[in-house]
Chains A and B, each alone.
Chain A
C-alpha cells in the first residue's frame, strides 16, 4: 500500500512535469536511424530474374506475391528501387526487356501493362487493357494450374506480345506501349497457355477440351497484322503440366508433351510429330531412370529461346532428373545429361554463360544445417562446381525455387533461392552473400516480449537450477556463501561494467553494451531503461523473433511449414517478469491426412524459440498439441492456471464448444472459478451484421458449452466496418481529468466498452458508431454520420476513456478525411461520479460522451496509441498514413474539450488548445521523417521502463521500429546536456572548499585572540 501511495505521488509529480512540456517533438537529421530502424521487404518472389543491360552490371528484378516490383542489388541485398502496388492489384507477369522491364497486373477486371526503366524503377508507359476474357468460358480444372499471363518479346521488332486470360493476345509497341493489334479468341473451349514467336509469326499454344482429355491447339498470328489461323494437333494431353513449349525468337519453336508411353515433339508451324518411347528412355538412354517409380514431369527451364528442358521422375529412394534438348535441325529429342538419383528433393535452375553454353544447377537440402549445390554443364557433362552452403532447415524449410546466374566478371555462380518460408537467399559459390527474411512481409501478428533482468538470468543458472530436494537440505550459511560466491563471480564483470558506464556517460549511448561485438553473442537480458525487448512475429508458417536494438537483428526463427498450414495467433502466456523463461503459444491450423482441419498449438520458450518443456508437470504441458477442431475464435483469458502460471487460452470451435488450453485439472479448476464472471463475443468481424454475446455454461467437463446471452442486430443494411480494440496492457494513471478550476471530471473506464462502426449499404452511405458494452450487449452511445465515403476504410482506436475514429466525409462543405474523438465521463457535472467502489456492467450507469470532429490531412491505414509504463505521459495517437509515413498526433490536439471560444483563464490553466477545425499537417509530427514505410497494417506499442518512452512497431510489408516520447524525454538528461560542465563545477567546488577550509579555520582562531 505504501508503495502504491509513493507511486501515485510520483505519478502526480510527473504529471505536473509533463503538462509543462512542449508539444512538438521531432528529431534532428543526425538522429535519423540512431534509435529507429527500418527493414524493407518485398514479399516472397513470384517472378525473379537476373537482369543485365550493358555496363550497369547485373541486378535481380523481382515481382512478389505482396504485389511489389523491386530491383535488388546482388552484392548487398539492398533494394535499389521498389514499386509497391495496391493490395488488390496482383502482379501476374514481369519480364526484362533490354533496359526496361514489363509488368502485367490485374486491377478490378482490367489488365495493366506497364514498362519500367530497369535501373531506376521509373515507369515509362502504361496501357490499361479492358474487356479481356469476355467470350471466355473456360474449364476451371485446367485453368487453375496454368499461368494466366504470358509475355514475350518479338525477335526483330520492338514488340511485346502478351497473352491474357488464355484467350486474348495483344501486341504492344515496347517503346511507347501503343497497341498494334489485339486478337480475342472467340472460340470458347480453347485456352491458350504459351506464346512463341519466330519468323514473323506468333504461335499461341493452348488446349482444347475433347471428351476425356485435351487436344493441343496452335493459333498462329501474323506479327504485323494479327490475322490468325488455328490448327489442331493430333494429340491427347491430360494435364497442362504434361506440355511445355520451347524455342522461338531466332530459332524454331517446339511443343513437347508426354502422351501415353511417349514424349512427343512438334515443330511449331508444322503438323509433323516426332516421338521417343519412354521405355527406351528408362532402359537405355538414362541409367538412373531405371528406378523410376511414378509419372515423369517436364520442367521448363525458362531460359529464353533455348530448347533444353528437364525431365524429372520420382524414384523409390527419392528422385532423379535428366536434361534433354530438342535438336533444331531434326526436331528430335537428344538426351544431354543424367542427374543421377538423390534421396532429397531437388530444385533446378539454368542459365548460360558467355559462350552460350547451358549451365544447370541442382540444389537440395542435405542436412539440418547445409544445402548442396551442383553446377553442371550438361552439354559437355562436366561438373563445374559442387558447393556445400550453410542453411538452417529449421528456420527456412525446403528450397522452393532458384535462379542461377553466371557472374562473368568474378567467374562464379550465383543463385537467388526462395525457401518454403518465403525468404530469399543469395548464394555465390560456397558463400551466403545475403539473405532476406521475406516471410516478415506476411506477418499476421506481432507481440512485444519483455526480456528478463540480468540478475534473474544469472541467478537462474545459480540458485534456481538446484533440485527441490537440494533446496530443502541446504543450510542458510551455505546458501549465504553460495550467494557470496555469485557476487564475487559477478565482480568479474565489474571492469566491463565500469567501462560501459563511463562510455555511456560520455557518449550518452545507452545501447552501447548491447552492440554486437564479434567476440560473443550478447546474452538476452533487459537493459537499464527497458528499451530492449524481443519482437515476436508470426507469419503464415513461421515464427521470427527480432531484437528491438541492434537494428532488429533476428534472434531466432522457426519454420513450421511441415506442421502448420497457416498460423492464426500468437500469445505470450507468461512474461519474463517472473523467474522462469517467458512462454509463447502459437496457434495454427493444418489439414490432416483425412482432409479435416486440425488446430495445432505450440508452446515455445520465447527467448530461444525451442519447445518449452517444464521441469515438472510435463504431461500437462505438452510442447505440441493437436485438437481436431476448426477454431472460430481464440481468446487469451485474463486468468492463469496455478501450476506454471501461464494464461489460459480458450478455443471456440465451429460447433460453439469452448475448449481451454492447457487442458488439465488445475487449469480447468481455475477456469471454472473464473467462468461465472466471464463474457465474450463471437462473430465480431468486419462485414458481420450482428454481434452476439456468450457465456460459458458451468459443466466442469471439457469442452464447455456456451450459451448465447444477447444478440445485437444492427439495422437493416448495416455491417461492421471497424472495431475498436484497446491496447493490451493499458495503464490508467488518473481516474479523472482535472479542469482549470481544480475540479474533476471522472473518466468512464469501462473495460467492456467497445466502439463499433458500421457502414450502411444505402446511398448516400451512413456511418454509425455504437459504443457497446459487450457484457450485457447494450448500446451506451450511438452516433450517425451521414454521407460517408463507403470505399474508404473506417479506423477506430480506443484507449482509456477516449475513442478516435477516422473516415471519409462526402459532404459538400467538408469533403475530406474526418477524425472524431470521443471522451467518456461518468457525469456531465464536475466532481460527480458513480458512488460505487465496484464497476459492474449491469448497473444502470451510462457515460456522458463529449465529442469533437476535425478534418484530417491524410487517409490512414492503421491507428496506434503510445503506451507508457504508468500511463502518465500524454498519449499520442500514431497514424499510418497512406503516404507510407507514421504521423503522431498528441492527445492534446485530439481533445474534445478544446474550447471553441477565446481561451478563458480556466482553459489556460487546463492548458487547452483552442479548437481548430483541421488537424494541422505539421511535418514535425511525421515520426518516420523521410522514410517510406510501405504497407503498414498495424502499429503496436509497448512501454519501456522509462515513463516518458514508448516502443513503437509498425508492420505490414515493411517493419519500422522506433522509440517515441510523446511528452519528450523528461526523465532522461538530454543529449546536449553538458555533463562535463556539471562535473567540472562539482570538482571546482570541492577544490575551492579544500583550499578555503584551512583559511577560514585559521581566520576563526585568530579572531578569538583579539
Chain B
C-alpha cells in the first residue's frame, strides 16, 4: 500500500521534533507538504506513481530561473485586464445609450470591478514578490493600474454617452443661485 499521499515515517531524520501531548511524547518527522522544495528531499519510491514526482524533484529550477518566471507571470497578470476591454466595449455597445437597468448595471460593473481590482492589487502580485523581484514588479503593477483605469474610463465614456456626466451647463442649473433683485415694484 504505497502511493504518493503516503509518507514513510520510519526513517526519521535529525530534524525530529518532539511533541508532548497529554503526558505522552510524540516524535514527528513529517516531511513538508509536496512542492516545498527547499526542505527534505522528496521521498524516493519505487512505485510507478512517484515517477512524476521524482521528475519534478529532479527539475528544481534555479533561483534565477524562478525569478524570471515570476516576472513573466507578473506581466501576464498585469495584462489580463486588457484582454477584458474589448469584451466590455462590446457589451457596452450592445446595451445601448438609454438609461435602463441593464445598461446602468453594466456601467456600474465597469466602475466597481476596476476599483475592486485596484484595492486588491497587492494580493494579485503577492505571489510574484520576492526580495529580488520587488523592484521589478513596479512596471507590471503600473501597467495593471493603467489597464484598470482604462476599463474605468470606458465606463466613464459610457456614462457620458448616456448623459449621466454633469458636463453640460444644464447639469449645474439646479444649483445656480437666482439673481438678487435690486428694485421692488408693485403693480
Of residues 139 through 186 on chain B, the ones whose CB sits less than 8 Å from some CB of chain A are 163, 168-171, 173-186
Known contacts A11-B174, A742-B170, A743-B169; A839/B179 CB under 8 A? yes
| Residue B94 at the chain A interface, CB threshold 8 Å | no
Q: How far is the CA of A425 from the CA of B97 in the complex (A)?
A: 69
Nearest chain A CB to B154's CB is how many angstroms away?
Answer: 21
In the complex the two chains form, is A751's CB within 8 Å of B181's CB?
yes
Question: Can you list 23 A-B contacts with CB-CB less than 8 angstroms, sorted by A residue number?
Answer: A5-B175, A8-B175, A9-B174, A15-B174, A637-B184, A637-B186, A638-B184, A639-B184, A678-B185, A678-B186, A679-B184, A681-B187, A684-B187, A734-B173, A735-B178, A741-B168, A742-B168, A743-B168, A752-B185, A837-B180, A838-B180, A839-B181, A840-B183
User: Could you give, for residues 629-645 of chain A, a 1 whenever the CB lies within 8 Å of some chain B CB and a 0 otherwise?
Assistant: 00000011111000000
In the complex the two chains form, is A638's CB within 8 Å of B181's CB?
no
A sample of 17 more A-B contacts (CB under 8 A), given A8-B174, A742-B168, A838-B180, is A12-B174, A637-B186, A674-B184, A677-B182, A679-B183, A679-B185, A680-B185, A723-B187, A725-B187, A734-B173, A743-B170, A744-B169, A749-B179, A752-B183, A752-B185, A838-B182, A839-B179
Closest B residue by C-beta to A633: B186
Residues from chain A with a CB closer than 8 A to the CB of B175 are 5, 8
Chain B interface residues toward A at CB < 8 A: 163, 168-171, 173-187
In the complex the two chains form, is A678's CB within 8 Å of B184's CB?
yes
Q: List the 8 closest pairs (A to B, CB-CB), nearest first.
A: A742-B168, A738-B170, A839-B179, A840-B182, A8-B174, A12-B174, A752-B185, A635-B186
Closest A residue by C-beta to B172: A744
Residues from chain B with a CB closer than 8 A to the CB of A836 are 179
| Residue A775 at the chain B interface, CB threshold 8 Å | yes
| Residue A508 at the chain B interface, CB threshold 8 Å | no
Q: How far is the CA of A11 from the CA of B174 in the complex (A)?
A: 8
Nearest chain B CB to A756's CB is how many angstroms away?
Answer: 10
Among the listed A5, A752, A831, which residue makes an inter-chain contact with B169, where contact means beta carbons less than 8 Å apart? Answer: A831
| Residue A847 at the chain B interface, CB threshold 8 Å | no
Among the listed A674, A725, A838, which residue makes an inter-chain contact with B179, where contact means beta carbons less than 8 Å apart? Answer: A838
Residues from chain B with a CB closer than 8 A to the CB of A774 are 185, 187
Closest A residue by C-beta to B171: A742
Residues from chain B with a CB closer than 8 A to the CB of A678 are 183-186
Residues from chain B with a CB closer than 8 A to the CB of A841 are 182-183
Chain A interface residues toward B at CB < 8 A: 5, 8-9, 11-12, 15, 635-639, 650, 674, 677-681, 684, 723, 725, 732, 734-736, 738-739, 741-744, 749, 751-752, 754, 774-775, 831, 836-842
Residues from chain B with a CB closer than 8 A to the CB of A736 are 170, 173, 176
Nearest chain A CB to B88's CB is how many angstroms away?
Answer: 26
Closest A residue by C-beta to B167: A742
Most buried by B among A635, A734, A744: A744
Closest B residue by C-beta to A774: B185
Q: How far is the CA of A741 from the CA of B170 in the complex (A)?
A: 9
Closest A residue by C-beta to B180: A838
Nearest chain A CB to B99's CB is how many angstroms away?
Answer: 10
Q: How far is the CA of A9 from the CA of B174 in the complex (A)?
A: 7
Residues from chain A with a CB closer than 8 A to the CB of B187 are 680-681, 684, 723, 725, 754, 774
Among the listed B163, B176, B178, B182, which residue makes an inter-chain contact with A742, where contact means beta carbons less than 8 Å apart? Answer: B163
In the complex the two chains form, is A744's CB within 8 Å of B183's CB?
no
Known contacts A735-B176, A838-B180; A751/B170 CB under 8 A? no
Residues from chain A with a CB closer than 8 A to the CB of B180 are 837-839
In the complex the two chains form, is B173's CB within 8 Å of A738's CB?
yes
Known contacts A735-B173, A742-B163, A837-B177; A677/B168 CB under 8 A? no
Nearest chain B CB to A837's CB is how many angstroms away?
Answer: 6
In the complex the two chains form, is B178's CB within 8 Å of A732's CB?
yes
Residues from chain B with a CB closer than 8 A to the CB of A637 are 184, 186
Q: How far is the CA of A735 from the CA of B168 in the complex (A)?
A: 15
Nearest chain A CB to B36's CB is how many angstroms away?
Answer: 28
Residues from chain A with a CB closer than 8 A to the CB of B178 are 732, 735, 749
Closest A residue by C-beta to B179: A839
Nearest chain B CB to A738's CB is how many angstroms away?
Answer: 4
Q: How far is the CA of A677 from the CA of B182 in the complex (A)?
A: 7
Q: How far is the CA of A636 from the CA of B184 in the complex (A)?
A: 12
Residues from chain B with a CB closer than 8 A to the CB of A732 are 178
Closest A residue by C-beta to B166: A742
Residues from chain B with a CB closer than 8 A to the CB of A840 are 182-183
Nearest chain B CB to A194's CB is how many angstroms away?
Answer: 52
Q: How far is the CA of A841 from the CA of B181 in the complex (A)?
A: 9
Residues from chain B with a CB closer than 8 A to the CB of A674 are 184
Q: How far is the CA of A15 from the CA of B173 in the complex (A)?
A: 12
Nearest chain B CB to A781's CB is how many angstroms away?
Answer: 17
Residues from chain B with a CB closer than 8 A to the CB of A738 are 170, 173
Nearest chain A CB to B186's CB is how many angstroms away?
Answer: 5
Q: How far is the CA of A11 from the CA of B186 in the complex (A)?
A: 29
Q: How far is the CA of A636 from the CA of B177 in the complex (A)?
A: 26
Among the listed B163, B174, B186, which residue makes an inter-chain contact with A638, where contact means beta carbons less than 8 Å apart? Answer: B186
Residues from chain B with a CB closer than 8 A to the CB of A681 are 185, 187
Closest A residue by C-beta to B182: A840
